[in-house]
Amino acid sequence: MTGENFAATGQLLGTVVAVQANFYRVHLDQEDEEMREMREMREMREQEPPLPHPPYPLLLLCTRRTRLKKIGQQVMVGDRVVVEEPDWAGGRGAIADVLPRQSELDRPAIANVNQILLVFAVADPPLEPYQLSRFLIKAESTGLDVLLCLNKSDLISPQEQQQVSDRLLGWGYEPIFLSVKDDINTDQAAKYLSNKITVIAGPSGVGKSSLINTLIDANLRVGEVSGKLARGRHTTRHIELFELPNGGMLADTPGFNQPDMDCLPEELIHYFPEARKRLAVASCRFSDCLHRDEPECVVRGDWERYEHYLEFLDDAIARQTQLHQQADPESTMKLKSKGKGQSQYEPKLESKKYRRISRKTQLQDLQELYRDEE
């Protein structure tokens, strides 16, 4: 809460840190000395009852005003909200208004995020370039800053670490190598999170929950890595914001293995930093170039992730085609899964045309035939 807002409105402001059914946990802004003096002057001037002293509780369990429900105002984790009618003894209140959002993500559903902390492991499970690239593209598509941390760096040699670093620098990223187990560079990662709302993401089993435990001294459940699949079990069930010791908040998100490629095909290339670098100094011959086999394309070439781009482009085109087909009920094509993550479009069969006639219908037809002959 800023002193200016508090002095001007006298409202209780806070941040939604968790959503549970129809209830919202709101972390109220703390007052500094200047804000406290302005509040007390306003209370004396307007003859309002003072807030409790010693300091009121920072966490309230709130409901949403009916007015917000009627106008369709959704309340998300990360929202800045105005709280009314606080019940200090019971730790409850009511959300009266939602302040304008600076940013908004739909998966996960969270507002006012400043950056994404992408966590992968360099070993156990091994680092998979294709999977990492897919997560990076999804993170880039949000338009937020992306911070890449590689955990379990104690399991590889300094030479291997340098090779991974050089490779990712070619992608356009400067990773932070850390080890939660041996407490290596966790303080360096913490500096980037100060006074920001950060979403932490990445595949299961890479140490996200352990890293959060270290950064906020929390007690999240941590699942062991499955020996068969070299993947971790999903241990996060819901979105929640955790307060950091040096200011800012960190959001853990439910684990997922492969983010959807739900961007437009023509936008995809801009989510590759190495491709953006090429487009910054030259342009393709065609404005709608998809950088596959078009002539005079400045992007197509010998950069490492170009093959990833082509695969993601096929996914993005297939998704767009599917959306168009769903929007067109007269479509004669359908998307059919072929296994192993592959799919292709096939002609639709005409409804009921090739369906076997039931015995009951056959018997009825025979009875009609006999009656006609008689």
Cα separation, 276 vs 268, in Å, equals 11
Residue in the block written with tokens 């941040």: 15
Cα separation, 236 vs 256, in Å, equals 10
Residues 152 and 238 in one domain: yes
226 is in an annotated binding site: no
Domain annotation covers residue 201: yes
78 is in an annotated binding site: no
CATH number where 64 lies: 2.40.50.140
Residue 343, beta-bridge partner list: 337
Percent pLDDT > 70 in the chain is: 75
Q: Are 125 and 203 in contact (CB under 8 A)?
A: yes
Write down the pLDDT at residue 40: 56
141 is in an annotated binding site: no
Q: Where residue 353 falls among pLDDT bands split at 50, 70, 90?
A: low
3 is in an annotated binding site: no
Which residue range forms the structural domain that includes residue 36? Answer: 12-100
Percent pLDDT > 90 in the chain is: 48
The string of pLDDT tens digits covering residues 206-218 is 888 889 889 887 5
Domain annotation covers residue 288: yes
203 is in an annotated binding site: yes
Average pLDDT over residues 85-109: 90
62 is in an annotated binding site: no
206 is in an annotated binding site: yes
340 is in an annotated binding site: no
**Mean of all residue pLDDT scores within the chain:** 81
CA angle 249, 111, 135 (to 5 degrees): 80
Average pLDDT over residues 50-72: 78
Write down the pLDDT at residue 103: 92
Write down the pLDDT at residue 134: 93
Q: Is the pLDDT of residue 341 over 80?
A: no
343 is in an annotated binding site: no
202 is in an annotated binding site: yes
Instruction: Please indicate whether residue 61 or residue 232 has the higher confidence score (pLDDT).
Output: 61
CA angle 115, 101, 87 (to 5 degrees): 110
Write down the pLDDT at residue 48: 57
103 is in an annotated binding site: no
Last residue of a domain, one of 322, 342, 367: 322
Cβ-proximal residues to 53 (8 Å cutoff; 6+ apart), any chain? none
Domain annotation covers residue 7: no
Please spell the DSSP secondary structure of 86-116, one letter per residue.
Answer: EETTTTEEEEEEEPPPS-EETTTTEES--EE
289 is in an annotated binding site: yes
336 is in an annotated binding site: no
Domain annotation covers residue 355: no
353 is in an annotated binding site: no
Residue in the block written with tokens 């007690």: 219
**314: part of which helix (H) or strand (E)?**
helix 306-327
Q: What is the number of structural domains in the chain?
A: 3
Instruction: Please indicate whether residue 348 or residue 59 has the higher confidence score (pLDDT).
Output: 59
Instruction: Please indicate whether residue 239 or residue 192 has the higher confidence score (pLDDT).
Output: 192
Last residue of a domain, one of 256, 281, 300: 256
248 is in an annotated binding site: no
Residues 230 and 278 in one domain: no
84's tokens = 């009314």
What pTM does this model have?
0.74
205 is in an annotated binding site: yes
Instruction: Please indicate whether residue 353 or residue 304 has the higher confidence score (pLDDT).
Output: 304
Residues 192 and 227 in one domain: yes
Residue of 264, 81, 117, 125 lying closest to 202 (CA atoms): 117
Write down the pLDDT at residue 228: 41
154 is in an annotated binding site: yes
Q: Where residue 140 falls among pLDDT bands split at 50, 70, 90?
A: very high
26's tokens = 């709101």
Write down the pLDDT at residue 229: 38
CATH number where 241 lies: 3.40.50.300
